[in-house]
Amino acid sequence: MLTDNNEVIACVREGEAGYGWIVKHNYRSNSTSPIVRFKSPVVATGLRTLTVGPGANPKVFTAGFLDGGLATFDPVATTPVPLKNEADQAEGLAVLDDKLYAGLYQYAKISSFDVTTTGLENKKELFNLSGTHKQDRPFAMLAIPAPVNKLVVGTVPQSAVNASGSLAILSLDDASVPAVPAITDNFIAGQSILALTNIGNVIYGGTSTWGAYNDKPVKDANGVFETATLFSLDISNPRALPTLIHPVKDRLVISTLINVQGKIWGLAEDTLFIYDPANPLGVIQQNNLFGYRFSEWNIAWKAAKMVEAKNGYVYISFDDKLYRVSIKTPEQRPELVISSGVNSVDIDETGNLYYISGARLKKFDMVANPQ
C-alpha cells in the first residue's frame, strides 16, 4: 500500500522461523522500519520435492515450495495424517535407515532429521555450502547404504554467471562423531549437478549448463550452448577428478538418473540415454522422446524424474505428465500413463507410485493398474 507520504506499507515473510512482518519503507530517506511481527499462516503454495523411504512399510516425505516445510505421510497408518515440520525449502531429499536428509535453500544447508512414529524430530544442520563455496540449491541428494554408508550432495551455485556446482561426500559411519564432508568446488567448470545415482562404490552424476535462477545456460566461444554431461567418480577417492562419460549433444540439462539392473538410465531434456559400464562405448540413446526442449525456458532444474517399477517399466514424470518405457525395449516410444498434473514421482518397495500434483500428494495404485 502506498501512502501520501511517499511510504510503502508491505507485508514480508521470514524464512524458516515462520513469522511475518508488516513494515514501512520511506522512499525519500530509503529507510525501512518494522511495525508489527506476527505468526505467518501455513499456506500450501505447492509441493516441491518428494521421496519415499525404504522398507515394507514406507513413509512418504514431501517438501513445500516457497513456504518450505516438510511433511511425513504414512500410507499404512490407521488414520494417515501428514505430520508437518518447519524447515526451509528443500530442493533435495534422501532417506537412509531412520534418517531423512534434506538439502535446503538458501546457502545449500544440509540437515538431518530422525524419522520417528510421530514424524520428524531432532533437526541437525550437518554442514552448508555457503561462504567460499558459493552454493545455494542442493538438488542432488544420494544416501548410499552400508557398506558404503555415504551421503552425496550435488548443488546449483548462487547467482553468478558461469559459476559451477559443488560435490560433497559425507561419511555416515558414526553419527555420534560430527563428520567433515569432502567438498570439491568447481566440480565441472560452468556446470551444476542435478542428478546422482550409484552402482556400488561408483557414483554417477548428471549436470546442467544452467546455474542460478537468473542465469542463462552457458555458451562456448562460438555462441553454442554447452552440453550436459554424465560423469562418474569412485567414492573411495572423493578428491579425484570426475570421469566425463557421455556428453548429451545439444541438451542442456540431465534432470534425473537411476540404476536400472546395473545400467545407468538418464533423461537429458527429451533424450533418454542408457549407459552400460560393462560396455562404455555402446550408449543407447533415443532422441526427441517427447518433442519438448528447455532451451527457451527461463530456468530448468528438476524438470523430470524416473523410477523403476517391478512390472518391467521405467516411469518418467515430464512436462506435467507421467510416461512409461519398457526396460526390455527402451527403443520403443514412451507410453502415456497420466495426461496431466504430475510434477514428480517416486515408488515404494511394494510397487506403488506416489506423485506431486500442485499442492497435493497422490498415489497411483499399481495393484489396480498392473499393466
The 3-state secondary structure of 197-228, one letter per residue: EEECCEEEEEEECCCCCCCCCCECCCCCECCC
Domain co-membership, 100 together with 246: yes
Q: Give dist(CA 371, CA 363) in Å, integer.
A: 16
Number of domains within the chain: 2
The answer to whether 137 and 301 have CB atoms below 8 angstroms apart is yes
CATH code assigned at 63: 2.130.10.10
The SS3 assignment for 342 reads coil
152 has pLDDT over 50: yes
**Rg of the Cα trace of the chain?**
21
The CA distance from 80 to 74, in Å, is 6
Q: Answer positive or negative: Cα dihedral of 289, 154, 124, 132.
A: negative
Return the bridge partners of 272, or none: 267, 286
Same domain, residue pair 18 and 103:
no
Task: Provide the residue range defining the domain that includes 175.
Answer: 43-364
**Do 270 and 332 lie in a common domain?**
yes
List, for residues 249-263, the tens digit of each pLDDT value. Answer: 778 888 899 999 999
Q: Which residue has the cell 531412520?
A: 98
The per-residue pLDDT for range 38-67, each reduced to its tens digit, is: 455 555 456 778 888 876 667 888 887 766
- Considering the domain architecture, whether residues 273 and 150 belong to the same structural domain is answered as yes
Q: Residue 70 and residue 47: Cα distance in Å, rounded? A: 9
Q: Are residues 259 and 305 in the same domain?
A: yes
Q: What's the pLDDT band for 270 if we cut at 50, 70, 90? A: confident
Nearest to 159 by CA among 130, 194, 188: 130
Count of alpha carbons within 13 Å of 320, Cβ hemisphere only? Answer: 5
Q: Judge if 150 and 12 occupy the same domain.
A: no
Whether residue 278 lies inside any domain: the answer is: yes
Domain co-membership, 71 together with 113: yes
Task: Report pLDDT digits (tens) over 1-20.
Answer: 445 555 655 555 555 455 66
What is the model's pLDDT at position 242? 94
